[in-house]
Structure 1
Amino acid sequence: MPRCLLFVGPSLPDAAELVRNPAVEVLPPVSAGDLPRLSLAAGDVVGIVDGYFHQVGAVRHKEILALLSEGVRVLGAASMGALRAAELDSFGMEGVGRIYADYRDGRLEADDEVTLLHSTPEEDYRPLSEPLVCMRATLSQAVEDGVCDSATAARLVATLAGWPFGRRSYGGLVAAGREAGIDADVVRRLREYCVTHRLDPKRDDALLVLDALQRASHGEHSTPSAVPAVNRTSFLYLWQTAASGLDIGDSPHHGHLGALRACQLFAEEYPRFHREVVLRALATACAEECGPIPPDGDDATLARIALRHGEHRGLYRLPADPARLGFLAQWLTGTERDTLGPAEQLITFLVRSFRVNPGLTWEELSIQRLRDRPSWKDARTIVQLAWEVNDRVFTEHQERHVNDLSSEKILDLFARRWGVARADLEPAAMDRGLESLDSLTMAARAFYLLARYNPDLVRLEIAAV
């Protein structure tokens, strides 16, 4: 059976009580980062009704697209769900209900039409203001019932639309009428009508989503829409890795990235580790895309499969013709070009040029393999020590900063540490997953003082994959 989840709050505060099938999971309003944390598979269904946007980031379009690309159905209605569905229905998100249709067709435009202030979940999201979309519906009903004319209703709606969403309420109709120049007695009668005849299209649409999820939980299937192709941009990459518990950012000051940088810089066996990670990733990709080739095996087996995958991707033709390998010059040292055979030259090129996707680095692959090892704790200790040294030095010399450290001195230090000539330092950095000398400098800057003056404190050992 599919997994079915409903993100809902003030639009349907009693959703948990209304669920007839325990297979439907009721969750609080969605916010940025919630969707990547879900463990979902093709055929699962997510319903989005309510979502936060002010106190935390709103659910991102790319997060929804990522679910759709994995074959997960995503329904949207009533509030944040209606907004996102109107924006993403052409990519496969399924809009439900009247409010979604009004946004889709342009009858509603402003995001704050569906917005309200409310209390905490512990107080059942008690409303502290009224969504304008609900006031529109109630005022339209008042026109049909002859309580006021359409011009009066339109003037009130126009006035309320100019107010902050937290100020809108039926209690505020008198002030809105005064601002719009409407007779006070008319507005008072209208307010009394609205309080006793309040319509709630947000709740109505939320109930439709709940019903759809309950039917899906019983095995009802919809006609699948085309799965959108989603580029895993650097932003989506960071959101997904953060959701999976990997703290990957731009600074080696803390978190998983700092520990990874310590391993790259100071573990003597890291090039072999990195090579195995890359070859396994390429072999796995070959099995998934080109198959059927098992991605398991020793280094030699993985290397053969990875080499074939490069041919599958059109990078070269096998058997390799040395006369057609001139493009490898930028990836190999002079000694490597003279001593390595064509196949090993190509494998070295694959390792040094590897990226998960264009513009994306591969850090998560290595972090996932390293973070449960005893050496990971040692790496994090090195990060801590490095920043203790930096803080002490630059507190005493406040006119300077760690970014002022000489790039040339940093590069000289690691050329000596790795036992390579400066001319061959960039390929050596690539063997450690650092794509250029600039990347090496950025990664090493925070560790320079510790490594230069306390070299015994940065010794690190990791086992191969």
Structure 2
Amino acid sequence: MALDFAPGDVVALIDGYFFGRPAVRQKEILHLLDRGVRVYGAASTGALRAAELHPFEMIGTGRVFDAYRRSDLVGDDEVAVLHTDAEAGFRPLTEALVTLRHNLDEAVSAGICAAGTARAIVEAAKEMPFFERTLGAIFSRARRHITAPREMPTLHAYLHKQGTDIKQQDAADLLIHIADLPDEPNRHTILHKLNETIHFKRWQSPEPAWLKLCRLYATDYSQFQEQTALADLARRSGSDVDLAGGNDPAILHAALNYVSAHSLLDTQAPPVAYASWLTPQEQELPDTAWQAKLAALTKIAGNTVSETAPECPSRFIRSASVAPVCAARVCPVCRG
């Protein structure tokens, strides 16, 4: 989502990190599709996501994608490998289970091993974490279940020297296919509209570090968040109220009018109707007080703190526990 794609652009998703860091999210891909970007997937993470999002117009290619689409493959560990870093060329250090399956099928067809031997090796690999699936470790684990151990040396040599990396082949085929695509805008009809949830908006606009620190340490953060959310709702209402007024009743009035008009909050309902959102103590507050808290929790106001408060409010710095952290040059105001 950090890249500025336009309608008609083409994106090829092939592989990506996971386990140690977040994988490519489905919502990121849906965001591109919603903007008219053509998104292709193959080989690894791309094949998995394409199989998941095929009904939403993501285009999958290759044998790995086809296997996921047919539900021949289910687990995401089928394509996972341990690999080196960028400096060493991301060289794989373990075997992808999907590749192992393919090459064992080829070995059975070539008469190099029996089908039972191939099944035992696959089962042994499935029992192991993906980052331990070296060929040697898999064979060592499988030996106790194999009835024809004499096949093993020949099979090991075949897989090591003649095995096909179908993930690599699928990736190469996709890049060749994309290179041959005509350079024209995307003309297909967008069939599904992206639901931009609070979480999606937060992925688009991550909170700054100073705001996270204030949430942890500032004793008046909850009041600040509520006031900021109400001010943003008042702004959206089109009212000409002075938004710098803090606890100005006019801001609350404009905010409540907005959430009521957009069916985000029923201001005529009793507080018990919102028992899932309000504590028993909050339900005892005057109507405008508990309604203010609910309005601040509505999805439209969900990400307004970082949008409306680009700089650290000076009142947070009164907290002695915040000051040393801000002094570490995290906060844009304090480091000045």
Scaled by the length of structure 1, the TM-score of the pair is: 0.51
- Residue 24 of structure 2 aligns with which residue? 59
The 3 A distance-change label for structure 1 pair 239 and 173 is: closer
- Residue 177 of structure 2 aligns with which residue? 212
1:237 to 201, 214, 217: 201
How far apart are 1:117 and its partner, in Å?
Answer: 0.6
Q: Which runs of 5+ in 2 are unaligned?
A: 240-257, 270-291, 325-336
Deviates more, 1:129-138 or 1:168-177: 168-177
Aligned with 1:50: secondary structure? Answer: coil
The 3 A distance-change label for structure 1 pair 222 and 145 is: farther
How far apart are 1:363 and its partner, in Å?
Answer: 4.5
**Mapped pair 1:252 → 2:208:** no
Contact 1:177–1:183, Cα closer than 8 Å, also in 2: no
Contact 2:64–2:167, Cα closer than 8 Å, also in 1: yes
Aligned with 2:81: secondary structure? Answer: coil
- Residue 383 of structure 1 aligns with which residue? 316
How far apart are 1:133 and its partner, in Å?
Answer: 0.9
Q: Where does 1:74-153 land on structure 2 (aligned, <5 Å)?
A: 74-153=39-118
Contact 1:174–1:184, Cα closer than 8 Å, also in 2: no
Q: Across the two proteins, how many residue pairs are aligned to each other?
A: 279
Contact 2:226–2:296, Cα closer than 8 Å, also in 1: no
* Partner Cα distance (1:260, 1:368) in 2: 17
**Mapped pair 1:164 → 2:129:** yes
* Partner Cα distance (1:141, 1:212) in 2: 26
How far apart are 1:101 and its partner, in Å?
Answer: 0.7
Letter in 1 for 2:140: A
1:360 to 300, 307, 319: 300
Contact 1:113–1:133, Cα closer than 8 Å, also in 2: yes
Percent identity over the alignment? 30
Contact 1:116–1:165, Cα closer than 8 Å, also in 2: yes
Contact 1:232–1:357, Cα closer than 8 Å, also in 2: no
How far apart are 1:43 and its partner, in Å?
Answer: 1.8
Q: Which runs of 5+ in 1 are unaligned?
A: 1-35, 281-309, 316-326, 331-351, 393-465
Scaled by the length of structure 2, the TM-score of the pair is: 0.69
Contact 2:112–2:155, Cα closer than 8 Å, also in 1: yes
Per-residue Cα deviation, 1:341-374 (whole angstroms, up to 9, x for no partner):
xxxxxxxxxxx9998996331644x754653xxx
Letter in 1 for 2:205: T
- Residue 294 of structure 1 aligns with which residue? none
- Residue 71 of structure 1 aligns with which residue? 36
Per-residue Cα deviation, 1:420-460 (whole angstroms, up to 9, x for no partner):
xxxxxxxxxxxxxxxxxxxxxxxxxxxxxxxxxxxxxxxxx
How far apart are 1:138 and its partner, in Å?
Answer: 1.2
Contact 2:33–2:57, Cα closer than 8 Å, also in 1: yes
**Mapped pair 1:178 → 2:118:** no
Letter in 2 for 1:237: K
RMSD value, Cα: 4.0
Per-residue Cα deviation, 1:28-61 (whole angstroms, up to 9, x for no partner):
xxxxxxxx22222222222111121111122222
- Residue 246 of structure 2 aligns with which residue? none
Q: Where does 1:194-209 land on structure 2 (aligned, <5 Å)?
A: 194-209=159-174
